[in-house]
């Protein structure tokens, strides 16, 4: 399959990357960032929202740095899985991503910035023409959403990254760099509930690295992924949970692949901590998390089933954490 | 004569360390163990049948080819002869063909499900620099199709497009980017028509049927083919002791071969078309090209490239092959077209999405009194192999069991989807699954072991099925017994804890279509092989057999090597070009090894006879007492008297030049006279039995198959390595259909998963441990006793898994594939019925043998003896389906039983009670409608 032509830029430092981005912005030229390319390139081959410029982060030296509390955006998933520095929960989740071949190319930053997915959208140009396009890639036609017709405001494509809920459960922050400078925000604030916009990256900004709090290493976690095959498949539902053993107040649960964004479930967790002394009502908590998510019909398995499985996955994730009381 | 007499030496000493002989001091091995040459391998008696003096056991008795065995290669695990080319990346597949000056062809595809093309303006396309040729449907008005009775395809749409992705036009340009750009410059006016997606709607009259068959069209429906078959005594089913009624929904599945379709066309300077294509059936492409291009067949050379997997998906002549030829003719340059994966799904030809309704009954003796099958199959936009599929869905269920009656109604309808066609296990897979699961259910009602129920109802070797198929060798019983033993069935079935299950399934498949599609018995045989041996001793074999990875080239090389007692490296098979290979009907219906190897044996015997005659002249011993072994021919009782293969060869070609021989295979006349009697006829049938073990996650519904014991009766494993490979590969492919693969058509009728991420072929993690068990029943007509092993082994895995899931969780599921959501839904319903909240509390099915169990065991013990006697031809009496029900095989059944019927059309009083597909019989053909339409 032939990609449409684009100009590929290879900055070697963060400054050069930002300067390139600023320059393109000023010239009014659209561009995409690429790291491993396992998400961007298939989309380009399918001619989905392609841009005339692509800036590669592959040669940006700082982006490859990795310590136990800081992970550069171009660290590959494979490195995350095999590095002694990586948190065991991230290694567990990383090992469940795609296939071993893809993990050698795919990156942490790319996984966090993964484009949202939908079976009306992740299709070739010919295919999308046959449905008269969709909201997310309308090719200038103003087409409606094909999942939920007649709403035409929000794209409901599903975020299917595996790392995000796990990093959320570890209370990670992300460092974003762009023409307006550098900022650090909690990962939970990174995503924006719109399958099209996806996240809060400003124009020209990119995700440089992920930072974990110092106490993350004390956390024990589990990631439960629902998929049809044990390889290749994106999650159909994913539940990550972690806590500092013995401290139920530290319990964090996050889900993915159920909506346009991954998210944490602070309210549900809090609601099931109190009242009962220091104990977690696992069963009730699992049910309340199930009730809080609203998957739509745009992935391989039906949404009603995925929703029901959230309860099972939550239960399993929590039971892997040890004695929650 | 004395010249060739080699002096025997003393039995001790005189040997040189380097293996060379000392004159007059040669040690000779005992007679029969080899010739005199020190590098010669002794005769491998373990691979020479006991019937001709070797050690290879022949429990089924002697075989006509036993005396042609030399112990060289048959029966030994043999690496495929083309494997070096493949593992070194040097095999040339469709897209590897690069001719100088090539253009890239691209196809414009329909964005509409169903639409009339009002006009196509190509002027903007032609004006684009770099575009060399453009073609549309008007340029190729001649119709083609794989079956002569249903030619309903064009190179590109003429008048109408019939599904999203249907071919509309094509361009050839200097590079791919230009060709892609050109596709956006066609100006087309469409008139959209009302599409049909639901096959059930295909039975209704519509304004604009997808195809129009004139006076043969069935009212104004979209029914392409309807079938009615009824055999036996229907009164037997009226008061059954056990019965099973299952309504199945089977999704369409695709072959998922690795190599996408690719074709290169080139008109050479003499105006002959050279077409390179990865085809399973080059001969039909050859015919179709001739029809579409209006060029005689002798002006076309079809070159089959290496085929990167076919499984039935590369056995139709394809419109893109026509497009490449048309563009190449127009541009005067070679044109290459390679598909994207999505285009592969749009051309499809995968297994039909099917609604299958199966009612089965058993009587109080545990005999199967009736099968009643109704199959509505979704053909998509074109006929393809569908005419045959419509029959196969019924008739291939008529064995291996003896039936009291058989009733089948089938209909294939056109819908506005990519065309379904032939896929590994063609037409037999879905019904087989339904039937085997039904047997499991009836066994439960009868409180008997499902394996014993099967063993007590098998047709014996050398018998006739209820529909008139001639069964010859039959290893069904042995297959069942071996998997029962191998899997430790008796200790596991209905005894495993919740979430773990074990299940059984059987299979039955044709080994070569007895009446192939384009076969003209007056003009050519099923298969022909030419052999040429020149002075260098190398053996060149010309065959049209299309090796699609199944190893047919290796099989042909093996049998030639076996007959001539030559190392397989000396056999060179040439099978790629229609210019040089004899006509072959292609790689489908599991016919290749059976028919081509038979033809190759005959051709090799032709060469052997010439060599033996020369050796006779040189040695003075009649060929009857000469032995071939490892490049030598010698006197049976004194191996010192002999000639080398080359000496004999040179003598034989003294006056004639290179030795030439040919051999052919033709199947004997078979079958009944009713309409459709030819469907499913084969010179031999394969049998298989699998036991599968599964784990079911009761909370998520996820099924994983952990172990499979897979016994397949292939007659004689010419190459056990290849047979085991076919069994394991079949397990993988069948497992895909039963646990994860489906072509998903969304609410708008679009194929939602035309890619390998969302079309979920099992990964290595889903693959169970498979233990292949080869059963050898020695088929009297097969080459060295062999039968097929390429398709039949796929059948049993589906029902084995479905039955194992029932054993694990007590839920009978009849929607394939068993994706986690389907299984979960089944479990949820089951829990509701049982008023259980926690799936961990589900009861497991258990079995307490009922009074019928010992009766069945006794009967199967008797039948085992009966079968052995028949297999060894100690009992050659007639056996037809019905003997188990007390009928005399020597008197026509209709004369014995009042209700016995053999029918291909429903009786008027049956019309009201036909199954869903059977309702197609309520419609009349246009020619019988007398103006009302």
Q: How confident is the model at residue B30 (pLDDT cuts 50, 70, 90)?
A: very low
Are B763 and A232 a contacting pair at CB < 8 A? yes
| Across B310-323, average pLDDT | 97
CA distance A289 to chain B (A): 17
CA distance A89 to chain B (A): 22
Residue A78 and residue B900: Cα distance in Å, rounded?
69
pLDDT tens readout for residues B779-813: 999 999 999 999 999 999 999 999 999 999 999 99
Residue of A nearest to B818 (CA): A228
Tokens of B429: 């897979």
Are A229 and B740 a contacting pair at CB < 8 A? yes
Q: Would the pLDDT of B29 be above 50?
A: no
Q: Does A99 touch chain B (CB under 8 A)?
A: yes
Choose the closest CB to A228 out of B111, B752, B820.
Answer: B820
Which pLDDT score is estimated for B668? 84
pLDDT tens readout for residues B451-472: 999 999 999 999 999 999 999 9
Q: Would the pLDDT of B113 be above 60?
A: yes
Q: Which residues of A touch B177 (CB under 8 A)?
A: 2, 5
Residue A120 and residue B275: Cα distance in Å, rounded?
37
Q: Which residues of B touch A228 (CB under 8 A)?
A: 740, 760, 819-820
| Across B675-697, average pLDDT | 95
CA distance B699 to chain A (A): 7
Q: Which residues of A touch B746 (CB under 8 A)?
A: 119
Which pLDDT score is estimated for B586? 86
Q: Does A226 touch chain B (CB under 8 A)?
A: yes
Residue A121 and residue A140: Cα distance in Å, rounded?
15
Residue B704 and residue B768: Cα distance in Å, rounded?
8
Residue B695 and residue B652: Cα distance in Å, rounded?
64
Domain regions of chain A by residue span: 227-320
User: Is residue A34 within 8 Å of A82, Cβ to Cβ?
Assistant: no
Q: Would the pLDDT of B8 be above 80?
A: no
Q: Would the pLDDT of B508 be above 70?
A: yes
Choose the closest CB to A124 out of B177, B342, B740.
Answer: B342
User: Is residue B406 within 8 Å of B371, Cβ to Cβ?
Assistant: yes
* DSSP-derived secondary structure letter, A115: P
pLDDT tens readout for residues B576-591: 999 999 998 888 889 9
Which pLDDT score is estimated for B95? 96
Q: Is B264 exposed, middle or buried (0-12, 13-18, 19+ CB in 10 A)?
A: buried
Mutation test of the interface with chain B: which of A44, A228, A237, choosing the one with the most B Cβ atoms within 10 A?
A: A228
Buried b (16+ CB within 10 A) or exposed e, A80-95: bbebeebbebbbbbbb
Q: How confident is the model at residue B519 (pLDDT cuts 50, 70, 90)?
A: low
Q: Would the pLDDT of B496 be above 90?
A: yes
Q: How confident is the model at residue B27 (pLDDT cuts 50, 70, 90)?
A: very low
How many other CB atoms are there within 10 angstroms of residue B746's CB atom? 16
Residue of B nearest to A300 (CA): B758
Which pLDDT score is estimated for A323? 83
Choose the closest CB to B753 out of A119, A230, A308.
Answer: A119
Choose the closest CB to B821 out of A119, A146, A305.
Answer: A305
For residue A92, the SS3 value is helix
User: Is residue B10 within 8 Å of B640, Cβ to Cβ?
Assistant: no
Concatenated DSSP letters of B533-564: E-TT--EEEEE----SSS-HHHHHHHHHHHHH
CA distance B419 to chain A (A): 17
Question: Going along chain A, which residue ranges are E strands?
Answer: 7-9, 31-34, 53-56, 70-72, 173-178, 181-186, 206-211, 220-226, 237-244, 247-256, 263-264
Buried b (16+ CB within 10 A) or exposed e, B632-664: bbbbeebbbbbbbbebbbebbbeeeeebbbbbb
Half-sphere exposure of A148 (CA within 13 A, CB side): 14
Which pLDDT score is estimated for B675? 87
Please calculate the CA angle A223-A224-A228 and round it to the nearest 5 degrees: 140
Residue B279 and residue B302: Cα distance in Å, rounded?
9
Q: Would the pLDDT of B321 be above 80?
A: yes
Q: Which residues of B touch A232 (CB under 8 A)?
A: 757, 763
Q: Which residues of A touch B821 (CB under 8 A)?
A: 301-302, 305
| Across B213-237, average pLDDT | 94
Task: Tally helices (H) and strands (E) across chain B.
Answer: 19, 30
pLDDT tens readout for residues B601-627: 999 999 999 999 999 999 999 999 999
Q: What ipTM was estimated for this complex?
A: 0.96
Are A228 and B760 a contacting pair at CB < 8 A? yes
Residue predicted with more confidence, B239 or A6 = A6
CA distance A277 to chain B (A): 27
Query: Lowest-confidence range among B189-198, B272-281, B630-639, B859-868?
Result: B630-639
For residue A128, the SS3 value is helix
Interface of B with A (CB under 8 A): 109-112, 164-165, 176-177, 180, 340, 342, 699-700, 740, 746, 748, 750, 752-754, 757-758, 760, 762-766, 819-821, 824-825
Residue of A nearest to B817 (CA): A228
Q: Which residues of A touch B735 (CB under 8 A)?
A: none
Which pLDDT score is estimated for B671? 80
Are A233 and B164 a contacting pair at CB < 8 A? no
pLDDT tens readout for residues B731-761: 999 999 999 999 999 999 999 999 999 999 9
Question: What is the model's pTM?
Answer: 0.95
Are B753 and A229 a contacting pair at CB < 8 A? no
The helix (H) or strand (E) run that includes residue B762 is none
Q: Which residues of B touch A124 (CB under 8 A)?
A: 340, 342, 754
Dihedrals phi, psi of B543, to nearest 5 degrees: -145, 155
Are A124 and B340 a contacting pair at CB < 8 A? yes
User: Is residue A77 within 8 Å of A110, Cβ to Cβ?
Assistant: no
Which pLDDT score is estimated for B630? 87
Which of A298, A237, A67, A169 is CA-nearest to residue B747? Answer: A298
Residue of A nearest to B821 (CA): A305
Which pLDDT score is estimated for B22? 59
Q: β-strands B262-267, B335-338: how paired?
A: antiparallel
Question: Going along A179-236, which residue ranges are E strands?
Answer: 181-186, 206-211, 220-226
For residue A31, the SS3 value is strand
Q: Does A131 touch chain B (CB under 8 A)?
A: yes
Tokens of A311: 């309860």
- What string of pLDDT tens digits covers the 325 residues of chain A? 899 999 999 999 999 999 999 999 999 999 999 999 999 999 999 999 999 999 999 999 999 999 999 999 999 999 999 999 999 999 999 999 999 999 999 999 999 999 999 999 999 999 999 999 998 888 888 888 999 988 767 899 999 999 999 999 999 999 999 999 999 999 999 999 988 899 999 999 999 999 999 999 999 999 999 999 999 999 999 999 999 998 989 999 999 999 999 999 999 999 988 655 567 889 999 999 999 999 999 999 999 999 999 999 999 999 999 888 6
Which of A279, A296, A289, A294 is CA-nearest to residue A314? Answer: A289
Residue of A nearest to B740 (CA): A228
Q: Would the pLDDT of B440 be above 50?
A: yes
What integer best gives the mean pLDDT of chain B? 93
Are A126 and B165 a contacting pair at CB < 8 A? yes
Task: Tally helices (H) and strands (E) across chain A.
Answer: 11, 11
Which pLDDT score is estimated for B37? 61
Q: Report cis status (omega within 30 of 0) of the bond before B400.
A: yes
Query: Lowest-confidence range among A38-52, A200-214, B553-567, B896-910?
Result: B896-910
Which pLDDT score is estimated for B521? 63
Choose the closest CB to B111 out of A119, A130, A230.
Answer: A130
Q: Which CATH number does the domain A227-320 belong to among 3.40.50.1450, 3.30.390.50, 3.40.50.80, 3.40.190.290?
A: 3.30.390.50
Which pLDDT score is estimated for B32? 36
pLDDT tens readout for residues B329-360: 999 999 999 999 999 999 999 999 999 999 99
* DSSP-derived secondary structure letter, B53: T
């Amino acid at each position: 399959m032939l990609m449409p032509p684009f100009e590929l830029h290879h900055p070697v430092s963060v400054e050069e990357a930002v300067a390139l981005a600023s320059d393109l912005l000023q010239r009014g030229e659209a561009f995409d960032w690429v790291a491993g390319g396992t998400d961007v390139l298939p989309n380009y081959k399918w001619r989905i929202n392609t841009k005339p410029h692509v800036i590669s982060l592959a040669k940006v030296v700082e982006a490859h740095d990795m310590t136990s509390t800081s992970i550069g955006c171009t660290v590959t998933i494979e490195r995350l899985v095999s590095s002694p520095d990586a948190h065991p929960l991230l290694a567990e989740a990383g090992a469940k991503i795609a296939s071993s071949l893809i993990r050698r190319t795919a990156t942490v930053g790319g996984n966090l910035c993964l484009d949202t997915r939908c079976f009306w959208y992740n299709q070739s140009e010919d295919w999308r023409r046959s449905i008269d396009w969709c909201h997310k890639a309308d090719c200038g036609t103003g087409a409606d959403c094909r999942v939920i017709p007649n709403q035409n405001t929000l794209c409901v494509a599903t975020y299917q990254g595996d790392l995000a809920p796990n990093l959320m459960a570890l209370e990670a922050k992300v460092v974003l760099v762009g023409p307006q400078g550098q900022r650090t925000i909690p990962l939970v604030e990174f995503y924006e509930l719109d399958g099209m916009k996806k996240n809060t990256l400003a124009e020209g900004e990119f995700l440089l690295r992920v930072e974990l709090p110092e106490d993350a290493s004390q956390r024990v976690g589990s990631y439960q992924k629902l998929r049809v095959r044990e390889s290749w498949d994106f999650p159909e539902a994913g539940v990550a949970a972690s806590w500092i053993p013995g401290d139920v107040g530290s319990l964090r649960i996050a889900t993915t692949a159920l909506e346009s964004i991954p998210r944490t479930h602070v309210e549900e967790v809090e609601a099931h901590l109190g009242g009962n002394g220091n104990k977690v009502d696992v069963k009730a908590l699992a049910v309340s998390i199930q009730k809080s998510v609203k998957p739509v019909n745009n992935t391989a398995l039906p949404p009603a089933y995925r929703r029901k499985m959230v309860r099972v996955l939550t239960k399993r994730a929590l039971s892997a954490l040890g004695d929650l009381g | 004569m004395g010249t060739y007499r080699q002096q025997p030496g003393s039995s001790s000493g005189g040997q040189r360390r380097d293996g060379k002989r000392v004159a007059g001091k040669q040690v000779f091995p005992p007679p029969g163990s080899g010739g005199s040459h020190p590098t010669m391998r002794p005769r491998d008696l373990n691979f020479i049948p006991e019937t001709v003096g070797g050690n290879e056991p022949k429990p089924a008795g002697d075989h006509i080819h036993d005396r042609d065995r030399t112990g060289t290669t048959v029966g030994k695990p043999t690496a495929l002869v083309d494997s070096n080319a493949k593992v070194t990346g040097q095999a040339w597949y469709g897209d590897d063909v690069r001719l100088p000056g090539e253009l890239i062809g691209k196809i414009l595809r329909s964005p509409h499900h169903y639409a009339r093309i009002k006009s196509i303006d190509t002027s903007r396309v032609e004006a684009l620099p770099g575009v060399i040729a453009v073609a549309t449907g008007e340029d190729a008005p001649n119709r083609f199709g794989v079956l002569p009775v249903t030619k309903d395809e064009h190179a590109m749409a003429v008048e109408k497009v019939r599904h999203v992705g249907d071919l509309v036009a094509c361009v050839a340009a200097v590079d791919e980017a230009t060709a892609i750009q050109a596709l956006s410059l066609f100006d087309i006016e469409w008139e959209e028509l009302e599409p049909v997606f639901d096959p059930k709607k295909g039975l209704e009259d519509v304004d604009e049927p997808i195809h129009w068959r004139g006076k043969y069209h069935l009212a104004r429906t979209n029914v392409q083919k309807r079938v009615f078959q009824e055999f036996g005594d229907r009164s037997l089913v009226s008061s059954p002791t056990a019965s099973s009624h299952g309504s199945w929904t089977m999704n369409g599945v695709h072959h998922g071969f690795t190599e996408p379709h690719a074709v290169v066309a080139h008109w050479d300077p003499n105006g002959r078309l050279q077409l390179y294509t990865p085809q399973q059936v080059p001969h039909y492409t050859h015919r179709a090209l001739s029809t579409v291009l209006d060029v005689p067949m002798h002006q076309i050379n079809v070159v089959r490239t290496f085929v990167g997997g076919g499984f039935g998906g590369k056995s139709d002549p394809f419109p893109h092959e026509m497009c490449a030829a048309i563009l190449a003719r127009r541009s005067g340059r070679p044109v290459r077209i390679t598909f994207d994966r999505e285009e592969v799904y749009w051309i499809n030809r995968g297994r039909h999405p099917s609604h299958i309704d199966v009612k089965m009954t058993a009587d109080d003796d545990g005999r199967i009194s009736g099968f009643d099958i109704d199959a509505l199959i979704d053909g998509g936009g074109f006929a393809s192999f569908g005419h045959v599929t419509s029959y196969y869905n019924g008739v291939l269920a008529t064995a291996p069991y003896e039936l009291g009656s058989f009733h089948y109604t089938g209909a294939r309808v056109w819908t506005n989807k990519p065309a379904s066609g032939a896929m590994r296990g063609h037409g037999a897979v879905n019904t087989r699954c339904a039937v085997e699961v039904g047997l499991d259910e009836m066994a439960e009602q009868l409180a008997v072991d499902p394996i014993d129920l099967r063993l007590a109802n098998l047709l014996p070797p050398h018998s006739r099925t209820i529909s008139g198929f001639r069964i010859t060798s039959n290893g069904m019983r042995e297959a069942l017994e071996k998997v029962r033993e191998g899997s430790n069935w008796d200790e596991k079935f209905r005894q495993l804890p919740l979430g773990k299950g074990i299940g059984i399934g059987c299979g039955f498949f044709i080994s070569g279509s007895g009446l192939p599609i384009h076969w003209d018995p007056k003009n050519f045989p099923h298969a022909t092989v030419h052999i040429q041996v020149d002075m260098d001793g190398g053996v060149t074999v010309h065959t049209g057999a299309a090796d699609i990875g199944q190893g047919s080239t290796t099989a042909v090389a093996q049998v030639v090597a076996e007959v001539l007692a030559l190392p397989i490296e000396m056999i060179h098979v040439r099978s790629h070009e229609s210019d040089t290979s004899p006509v072959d009907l292609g790689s489908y219906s599991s016919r290749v090894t059976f028919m081509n190897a038979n033809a190759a044996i005959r051709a090799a015997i032709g060469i052997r006879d010439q060599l033996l005659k020369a050796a006779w002249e040189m040695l003075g011993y009649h060929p009857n007492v000469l032995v071939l072994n490892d490049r030598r021919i010698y006197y049976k009782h004194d191996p010192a008297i002999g000639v080398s293969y080359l000496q004999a060869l040179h003598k034989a070609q003294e006056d004639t030049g290179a030795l030439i021989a040919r051999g052919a295979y033709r199947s004997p006349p078979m079958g009944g006279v009713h309409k459709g009697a030819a469907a499913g006829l084969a010179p031999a049938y394969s049998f298989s039995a699998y036991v599968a073990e599964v784990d079911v996650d009761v909370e998520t519904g996820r099924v994983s198959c952990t172990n499979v014991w897979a016994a397949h009766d292939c007659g004689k494993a010419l190459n056990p390595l290849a047979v085991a490979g076919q069994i394991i590969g079949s397990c993988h492919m069948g497992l895909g259909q039963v646990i994860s693969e489906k072509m998903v058509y969304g609410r708008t009728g679009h194929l939602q998963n035309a890619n390998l991420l969302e079309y979920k072929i099992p990964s290595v993690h889903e693959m169970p441990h498979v233990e292949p068990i080869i059963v050898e029943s020695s088929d009297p007509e097969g080459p060295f006793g062999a039968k097929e092993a390429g398709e039949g082994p796929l059948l049993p895995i589906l029902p084995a898994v479905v039955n194992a899931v029932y054993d694990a969780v007590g839920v009978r599921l009849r929607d394939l594939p068993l994706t986690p959501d389907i299984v979960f839904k089944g479990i949820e319903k089951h829990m509701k019925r049982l008023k259980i909240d926690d799936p961990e509390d589900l009861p497991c099915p258990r079995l307490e043998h009922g009074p019928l169990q010992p009766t069945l065991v006794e009967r199967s013990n008797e039948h085992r003896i009966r079968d052995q006697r028949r297999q060894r031809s100690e009992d050659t009496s007639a056996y037809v389906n019905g003997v188990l029900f007390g009928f005399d095989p020597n008197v026509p059944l209709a004369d014995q039983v009042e209700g016995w019927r053999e029918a291909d059309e429903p009786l008027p009083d049956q019309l009201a009670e036909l199954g869903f597909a059977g309702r197609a019989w309520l419609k009349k053909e246009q020619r019988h409608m007398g103006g009302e339409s």
